[in-house]
Structure 1
Amino acid sequence: MSHRDDDTRLFECDDCGALSVGSGGISCCGSAMAQIDSAGDAGSGRDPADDRDSAAAEPIPEPALDDLLRVVFGMSPAELDVCLCVMEGGTLTVAELTDRVDYDRSVVARHLNHLASLGVVKKRRQILDRGGDVYAYSPEPPEAVRRRFHEVFLSWAATATDKIDELSREKVEGIADADAGSATQWTVFREP
């Protein structure tokens, strides 16, 4: 994990092993949680070798920005192109963006609406001199975009953690059911 400008870190409860992401002062089981890093439990004083094999103790590769945006925010490569174009180009209409990114107008409009719902771009109606109106899209301030992405990511991470916990429960229940005579739901693969 690289050093970040903010203080967001990973913490673990020494009592129950619960994990949390935050900037410190996080409590669990009545006491402060200990900071840990991506390579092990250096902040908590625990030896990472106690419960992880050497392969798991290797540093976790940093995710690429496009991977994060694709997975967490549901952005396609085309939507990322549209997003970056607005960030670099300032206030633009759908027609102007369509000329710059070489995607169909309906695709650009759909992506811009999604980006507006994410809080990445502002959508406002602009009255034209010749009559009528058009939507214009402009980037939100960088700090607002970072904060919004941070909020959505942490919400996504909490949901992902719940899914992992659910998977763990399902695995235990599957093993218990297999022991009770039902069909095996989980297979353990071992290297020869």
Structure 2
Amino acid sequence: MSNEDSDSDGTRLSGPSDERQQIDLRDREYAIYRCVDCNNVVLTMQDCDGGMTCHGETMEPVTESTLGVRTPDIRQVLLDAFGLPKAGLDICLCVIGDGPLSPGELADRLDYEEGTIRKYLNELVEFGLLQKSQLNRESGGFVNVYHSIDLDEMREETLVGFYVWAGEAASLIEEANLTKEDYRGADTEDGLNEVFWEQFAGKRSHD
């Protein structure tokens, strides 16, 4: 296979000369540990004195990613992990950076209709990333303004949310691996894709 081959659907497959590189994990803000006796792998954002343990045994640090995972972009993480559409993400980041802001002020800064901005603001408040308060006008009355939640609270909430997303992704990978094992031991004329999706759909329908 060449460095860049096309799949049957036209998708480009990455090869050794692609921009993806092996990642050295020894100087990262996070750490990954694996158990030497089982398949358990854990991620931590804190420096754990003495390392992590699994069933009473010290886990070994993982020092590199042999898959050459592409370093993510913060926008893409929020889009993928939290399901935020681009418009919602633009509005959220604008409020976090420049808030508190009213829907009208956001419309002046961003290329979105005020009605669209109000819709996403309500969703972001419900989601837990933004807060709404009322600001009294000098001329009388009040206007709704939006601002970000406490940064420490946001950090914790978004990390927990991301770990939930990552856990769901890890579960999918585990299901795929188990299905691959079943496929290798089965006498079937169907390809792995058909077997996997049939089993996967069946498991999900019982959840």
Q: Which residue of 2 aligns with 1:89?
A: 98
Pairing 1:38–2:64 present: yes
Among 48, 65, 74, the residue aligned to 2:74: 65
Pairing 1:144–2:153 present: yes
**How big is the alpha-carbon RMSD for the aligned residues of Structure 1 and Structure 2?**
2.5
Shift of 1:82: 0.7
Shift of 1:86: 0.6
Among 176, 179, 183, the residue aligned to 1:174: 183
Give the aligned length. Answer: 164
- 5 Å matches for 1:89-128? 89-126=98-135
Q: Which residue of 2 aligns with 1:26?
A: 52
* Structure 1 unaligned blocks of 5 or more: 40-56, 188-192
CA offset digits 1:128-179 (Å, max 9, x no partner)? 5544x543211223333222221111111111111111111222223333x2
Structure 1-normalised TM-score? 0.72
Q: Which residue of 2 aligns with 1:9?
A: 31
Q: Which residue of 2 aligns with 1:183?
A: 189
Shift of 1:19: 0.9
Distance 1:59 1:163, change over 3 A: closer
Distance 1:106 1:167, change over 3 A: farther
Provide the identity percentage.
27
- 5 Å matches for 1:156-171? 156-171=165-180
Give the Cα–Cα distance (whole angstroms) in 1 for the partners of residues 71 and 59 of structure 2: 24
CA contact (8 A) 1:16 1:29 kept: no
Q: Which residue of 2 aligns with 1:42?
A: none
Q: Which residue of 1 aligns with 2:201?
A: none
Distance 1:166 1:59, change over 3 A: closer
CA contact (8 A) 1:15 1:29 kept: no
CA contact (8 A) 1:12 1:19 kept: yes
Q: Which amino acid aligns with 1:168?
A: N
Q: Which amino acid aligns with 1:64?
A: D
Provide runs of 4+ in structure 1 moved above 6 Å. none
